[in-house]
Amino acid sequence: MREAVIPVSWILEIVKATLSAVAVFTFAAVFAAMLGVYLERKISGWIQARVGPKHVGPQGILQTVADTIKLLQKENIVPRHADYLVFSSAPLIVTVAALLGYVVIPWGKLGDWVLIVRDLNIGVLYFAAMSSLVVIGILTGGWSSNNKYALLGGLRSASQLISYELPLGFAIISVAMMAGSLSTVEIVNAQQDVWFVFKQPLAFLIFLTAAAAETNRVPFDLPEAESELVAGYFAEYTGMRFALFQLGEYAEMLAMAAMTTVLFLGGWRGPWLPPILWFFIKTYAVVFFFMWVRWTYPRLRIDQLLNLSWKVLLPLGLLNILVTGLVVTLAR
């Protein structure tokens, strides 16, 4: 039966979706990028026995705000011979792909109602798909700068990212096998008795390593190494485009930390405290861990990190899946 106009319910859903999109993006911009950059600088300062930012706002907490306002007024420079359209769309692709992953993250629970944008049936698979879109943005950014070093950095980064997507997938599948579902909410609910980090320790380690590599964090940040490839695929990006790349990277890191919490650390589950608080505590514990590792370990060479992915994590991930499958099948 055909209706004469677009039904009201569709319009209502579109409005709700727009509002939640704006809310989530603002949240990501504040909690991932601004807080993330601030934490990074404070934690690195603490580990290196110095103070970090402390002037702008109490304890320097408004530092990133000041930086953003500064970047907004920087001149818009596009290198000569660079393809303007492609050059500008690269940071957009990275940012939007990273932020699209936030649709399936459950932030907590209010009574019976789970705080999630949409609980897709294929939640974690969707998340993996969005992470794989980020690669296109980085590759495009590296090429469109018309700069040898940026191109090399982009190619290397893309090789790294795709190599680590496979172990990431295997770790996710191991958890999905335990929970019997791909939905993030059901995975959290399946951790009622014990968190999956205890039932799947190997998958946990594989996921953490792959997540660090997927977000180009040290020890896997060769493609954007400041001292070698001159910030790699970032080299020609200045001002707000650079800020957008950073936003995308930090948003992706927070999303990966949140997904670690969902898959392995029991999501929002925990006694006494409200679930949202538990979720944030666990997620920021993972974020702190990522930052701690950054300032502790030296950078891996490109062949070392590719070997780690293909020759160590990939076989281990396969083995983990087989063992898990065997145990679960025999236990029936």
* Residues 81-100 close enough to bind another protein by CB under 8 A: 81, 83, 85-86, 88, 91-92, 95-96, 99-100
Nearer to another protein (CB atom), residue 13 or residue 296: 13
Nearer to another protein (CB atom), residue 59 or residue 68: 68
According to the binding rule CB under 8 A, does residue 185 interact with another protein?
A: no
> What are the tokens at 212?
């660090």
Instruction: Give the start-end residues of each E strand in the chain.
Output: 109-110, 113-114
Question: Euclidean distance between the first and final Cα of the chain, in Å?
Answer: 48
CB of 178 to another protein, least distance (A): 9
Please enumerate in sequence order all residues whose Cβ is within 8 A of that of 24, keeping only pairs 6 or more positions apart, or say none. 99, 102, 103, 117
Task: Find out whether the peptide bond into 219 is cis, omega within 30 degrees of 0.
Answer: yes
Scan residues 57-86 and list those touching another protein (CB under 8 A).
72-81, 83, 85-86
CB of 105 to another protein, least distance (A): 12
Nearer to another protein (CB atom), residue 117 or residue 293: 117
CB of 292 to another protein, least distance (A): 28
Nearer to another protein (CB atom), residue 20 or residue 59: 20
Scan residues 269-328 and list those touching another protein (CB under 8 A).
302-303, 306-307, 310-311, 314-315, 318, 321-322, 325-326, 328
Binding track over 232-251 against another protein, x by CB under 8 A: ---xx--xxx-xx-------
Please enumerate in sequence order all residues whose Cβ is within 8 A of that of 1, keeping only pairs 6 or more positions apart, or say none. none
Scan residues 100-139 and list those touching another protein (CB under 8 A).
100, 102-103, 117-122, 125-126, 128-130, 132-133, 135-136, 139
CB of 66 to another protein, least distance (A): 15
**Long-range Cβ contact pairs of 207-210 (< 8 A, separation 24 or more):** 207/167, 207/168, 207/171, 207/172, 207/260, 207/263, 207/264, 208/260, 208/286, 208/289, 209/164, 209/167, 209/308, 209/313, 210/164, 210/165, 210/167, 210/168, 210/171, 210/309, 210/313
The answer to whether 245 and 193 are in contact (CB under 8 A) is no
Dihedral sign of CA atoms 210, 215, 217, 219 in order:
positive
CA nearest 317: which of 189, 170, 200, 163? Answer: 170
How far is 128 from 133, CA to CA, in rounded Å? 9
Nearer to another protein (CB atom), residue 170 or residue 250: 170
Among 146, 242, 293, 316, binds another protein (CB under 8 A): 146
- Give the H or E element holding residue 82: none
Nearer to another protein (CB atom), residue 33 or residue 43: 33
Nearer to another protein (CB atom), residue 43 or residue 262: 262
Size of the site for another protein (CB under 8 A): 103
CB of 180 to another protein, least distance (A): 6
CB of 10 to another protein, least distance (A): 4
Among 181, 242, 270, 289, binds another protein (CB under 8 A): 181
CA angle (230, 235, 240) in 5-degree steps? 135
